[in-house]
A and B are shown apart, each in its own frame.
Chain A
Amino acid sequence: MSLWEYANPAKFMATSRRPMQALGAAAAVALAVGLVWGFFFTPDDYRQGATVKIIYLHVPSALMAINGWLMMLVASLIWLIRRHHVSALAARAAAPVGMTMTLVALVTGAVWGSPMWGTWWAWDPRLTSFLILFLFYLGYIALWEAIEDPDTAADLTSVLCLVGSVFAVLSRYAVLFWNQGLHQGASLSLDAEENVADVFYFPLLVCIAGFVMLFVALVLLRTRTEVRARRLHVLTMRRRMSA
């Protein structure tokens, strides 16, 4: 069976419901366990004090802000190259979710930065690239809304997504490009010699799993809604033409 079969809207609708429900339930459990574990059962950090508890929201949301855009990039490329409508709709569906994740990362970062850095905001490379990523999300959503023809909207938003990907990558690696900002390096990294301490690491992993599953479940739900919206539009037009 080919992966491209799922690009068929009927096939996608028939097969995506159960995974969406399972992922939604698993996300709720993982978030409940991870956040309760992190909030109630982890000690204060020796430098950050209790503000370390913000890490369980900030790191997973920042991760999904970037990876959400990268998922949109893959879906946009599939649309541009193979013209599969479900992939264009999946990219559209992911944007509000990714934008929310970006906003959560920006807000929790600002709230954490206030006592730790002495400021809510600084024009630091990573913070600035995240703000630009947020604006790209806004622009992407606005562009979809502004163009009536769905194929033209998918084409133009895909191009915007390609351009915005520069900032998505930049938000991840800004700390390395410009070693001069306030923001520290990655809290979790496969190639780092040292990550956060185990006592914070394991609940953080559970929270990350929860955010990933929440993102995928919401994208599936919203993509299904976009498929229905497209069908509703077609049926409405047909009725008007025949009336």
Chain B
Amino acid sequence: MPDLGKYAAEILTAYGASAILLGGIVWASVARAARLRRRLDELEGRGRG
């Protein structure tokens, strides 16, 4: 860990908040993609069956 001196709180807050926001959009995008793909597969499978 580098010595962040008196600005450690600000720097870690910036990195933490960015990780939460970017991680959040990635997670939300992947989760919705998986959910919709599953539902579409189910529906198309039922249509064919």
Contact = CB atoms under 8 A, between A and B. Distances in A.
A222 B29 contact: yes
Given A57-B14, A221-B29, A225-B32, A104 B22 contact: yes
Contacts of A126: none
Among A44, A53, A114, chain B packs the most CB atoms within 10 A around the CB of: A53
A107 B17 contact: yes
A30 to B, nearest CB: 13
Contact of B18 (A49, A108, A115, A228): A108
Contacts of B40: 228, 231-232, 235
A40 B3 CA distance: 9
A235 B15 contact: no
A100 interface: yes
Contacts, number: 94
28 contacts: A35-B15, A49-B7, A50-B8, A53-B11, A54-B14, A57-B18, A58-B14, A96-B28, A96-B29, A97-B25, A100-B21, A100-B24, A104-B21, A108-B18, A111-B17, A112-B14, A115-B6, A218-B26, A221-B30, A221-B33, A222-B32, A225-B29, A225-B37, A228-B33, A228-B40, A232-B40, A235-B47, A239-B47
Interface of B: 2-8, 10-11, 13-15, 17-18, 21-22, 24-26, 28-30, 32-33, 36-37, 39-40, 43-44, 47
Given A61-B18, A100-B24, 8 more contacts: A96-B28, A112-B10, A214-B22, A218-B26, A228-B33, A232-B40, A236-B43, A239-B47
Interface of A: 35, 39-40, 44, 49-51, 53-54, 57-58, 61, 96-97, 100, 103-104, 107-108, 111-112, 114-115, 214, 218, 221-222, 224-225, 228-229, 231-232, 235-236, 239
